[in-house]
A and B are shown apart, each in its own frame.
Chain A
Amino acid sequence: MELFLYTALFSPLVGSLFAALFGASPKTKIAGVVPSIMLGVSLLSSTILLVLVLTTGHTIHVEMMTWMATGNLYIPFGFVVDQVSVTMMMVVTLVSTVVHVYAIGYMDHDKGFNRFFSYLSAFVFSMMILVMSDNFAGLFIGWEGVGLCSWLLIGFWYHKESASWAANEAFIMNRIADLGMLIGIFLIYWNTGTLQYDGAFAAMANLDASTLTWIGIFLFVGAMGKSAQFPLHTWLADAMEGPTPVSALIHAATMVTAGVYLVVRANELYALIPHIGLFIASLGAFVAIFAASMALVNRDIKRVIAYSTLSQLGYMFVAAGLGAYWVALFHLMAHAFFKALLFLGAGNVMHAMDSELDPFKMGGLGKKMKGTMIMMTLASVALAGIYPFAGFFSKDLILEVGFVEHHYIIYTVLLFTAGLTAFYSFRIVALIFHGEERYKLFGFHPHEAYKFMLVAMSPLLVLAIIAGSFKMTYFDMVTYVLPATEYHVHNHLVYWIMTIGTQLFVILSIFYAYKKYTSRDVKVPDGTSAMENSFKYKLLINQYYIPYFYEEYLVKPYRELSEIFWTKIDQKIVDATVDGIANVFYQTGEKTRVMQSGNLSTMLKWMVAGTVALLSLAVVFGLAARHSGEIKIFLSGLGV
Chain B
Amino acid sequence: MEIGLNHYLVLSTILFAIGLVGVMRRKNLLMLFFATEILLNAVNISFAAISHYYGDLTGQMFVFFVIAIAASEVAVGLGLLIVWHKKHNNIDLDNMSTMRG
Contacts and interface: CB of A to CB of B under 8 A. Distances in A.
Interface of A: 593, 596-601, 604-605, 608
B94 A601 contact: yes
A599 B94 contact: yes
Contacts of B24: 601, 604-605, 608
Interface string B18-45: 0010011011000000000000000000
A598 B20 contact: no
B3 interface: no
B98 interface: yes
B76 interface: no
B97 interface: yes
Interface of B, secondary structure class, is loop
B99 interface: yes
The number of chain B residues touching the other chain, given as a range, is 10 to 19
Given A604-B23, A608-B20, A608-B24, A599 B101 contact: no
A597 B27 CA distance: 15
Contacts of B23: 604, 608
Given A605-B24, A608-B23, A608-B24, A598 B93 contact: no
A597 B20 contact: no
A599 B20 contact: no
B68 interface: no
Contacts of A599: 93-94, 96-97, 100
A599 B96 CA distance: 7
Nearest to B99: A598
Given A604-B24, A608-B23, A597 B93 contact: no
Nearest to B27: A601
Contacts of A593: 101
A598 B27 CA distance: 14
Contacts of B27: 601
Contacts of A597: 97, 100
Given A605-B24, A608-B20, A600 B101 contact: no
Contacts of A605: 24
A609 to B, nearest CB: 10
B101 A596 contact: yes
A7 B96 CA distance: 79
A600 B100 contact: no
A596 B24 CA distance: 16
29 contacts: A593-B101, A596-B100, A596-B101, A597-B97, A597-B100, A598-B97, A598-B98, A598-B99, A598-B100, A599-B93, A599-B94, A599-B96, A599-B97, A599-B100, A600-B93, A600-B96, A600-B97, A600-B99, A601-B24, A601-B26, A601-B27, A601-B93, A601-B94, A604-B23, A604-B24, A605-B24, A608-B20, A608-B23, A608-B24
